[in-house]
Amino acid sequence: MKKYFYLFMSLLVLSCSTEDDFIENPESEVTKNEIVAKNSNPVKLVKAWKSFGSYRGYTSYYHKFAVEVANLAYDKSVSIYHEKKDGSWDEIVLSYNTTIDNQTELWTGEYSQGGYGITEEYDDEFVIKYVVNGSTYWDNNFGANYRMDNQEGYLFAKSDLNVSVDTDFVSLSYAPYDNKNTFNITVDVRNLSPDKEVGVVYSSDGWQTQKYAPLAFRSTWTNGPFYSIQSPNNYNVERWQGYATLDASEDQVEYAVVYSVNGDEYWDNNYGNNYTVTINSYN
């Protein structure tokens, strides 16, 4: 039943901001030193991903981001303020994703670049920008800014984020040879101890019944032809993957993942909503 998968999220602690907590006049020119000097509570990077691939001259770059913001007003904008290779700074605009609770929202977005003979547009340094009520708030990693190169995989920025589904790699597809549907899942976890277990709890009948499938650790995994990411990566994040077979009539799965380590359990259940995957429309 769904009630078993509700994740108890700590409310984002909001304090009264002073003039030093945000940058006024968001339309004005912002220097790198100003960004480094500012940090505040109402915006926080949750996780970020960077990857790179190349095959027969075609090169691709892919970045994605998830950010939590305090819901200070309806009208707001959230973006990644990213350094470019030429030293200038540019914005990657994020979009509203979901409401976590009455006080907090999740905003997500991505950037991709691909082509023959291209070079990377963005450098490795970025901060988070949140504009609301005429003020600009920043998450600059406590003055250090965030830095990622193109073969890092995931960075878990929130200290209490220990397990996260990568929905880009989750699928439900038909396997003609077995006349079965195959549910594939990919999960990232913070490496808190060598002794751990990661698994998926899922149901195809609205939680009338439920099943559990263990996932397997991946020491390396391919990110495009001839390019791989190490696990754990430089941010001590590991990749775990697995699959389960279902009857061919089961064309939708609802699921959550559990990470057991050091006597504790950590869940990713999509902020209490669980995740849902439906069989590929082309099958």
Same domain? For 81 and 41 the reply is yes
Same domain? For 181 and 146 the reply is no
Same domain? For 144 and 24 the reply is yes
User: Where does a domain end: 123, 156, 189?
Assistant: 156
User: Where does a domain end: 134, 156, 178?
Assistant: 156
Same domain? For 250 and 180 the reply is yes
Pairing state between β 237-247 and 180-190:
antiparallel
Q: What is the CATH number of the domain that holds 242?
A: 2.60.40.2440
pTM of the model: 0.81
Other beta carbons within 10 angstroms of residue 52's beta carbon come to 19
pLDDT per position as a tens digit, 54-86: 888 888 888 999 999 999 999 999 999 999 999
Answer whether residue 233 is part of any domain.
yes
Phi, psi (deg, nearest 5) at residue 248 = -60, -20
Rounded Cα distance between 199 and 217, Å, is 11
Is residue 199 a contact partner of residue 5, using CB atoms and an 8 Å limit?
no
Answer whether residue 104 is part of any domain.
yes
Q: Quick one: pLDDT band at residue 184, thresholds 50, 70, 90?
A: very high
Same domain? For 146 and 37 the reply is yes
Same domain? For 81 and 58 the reply is yes
Same domain? For 144 and 257 the reply is no
Rounded Cα distance between 211 and 208, Å, is 11
Looking at per-residue pLDDT, the higher value among 210 and 227 belongs to 210
Answer whether residue 200 is part of any domain.
yes
Structure tokens at 120: 């990377």
Same domain? For 274 and 168 the reply is yes
Q: Which of 37-41, 165-169, 271-275 has the lowest mean pLDDT?
A: 37-41
Is residue 101 a contact partner of residue 10, using CB atoms and an 8 Å limit?
no
Number of domains into which the chain is organized = 2
Q: Quick one: pLDDT band at residue 228, thresholds 50, 70, 90?
A: confident
Same domain? For 190 and 130 the reply is no
Answer whether residue 10 is part of any domain.
no
Answer whether residue 83 is part of any domain.
yes
Name the residue among 42, 38, 14 with its Cα closest to residue 24.
38
Rounded Cα distance between 283 and 273, Å, is 26
User: Where does a domain end: 115, 133, 156?
Assistant: 156
Tell me the residue range of the domain where 56 lies. Answer: 19-156
Is residue 41 a contact partner of residue 85, using CB atoms and an 8 Å limit?
no
Same domain? For 152 and 26 the reply is yes
Answer whether residue 1 is part of any domain.
no
Compute the average pLDDT of residues 163-188: 94
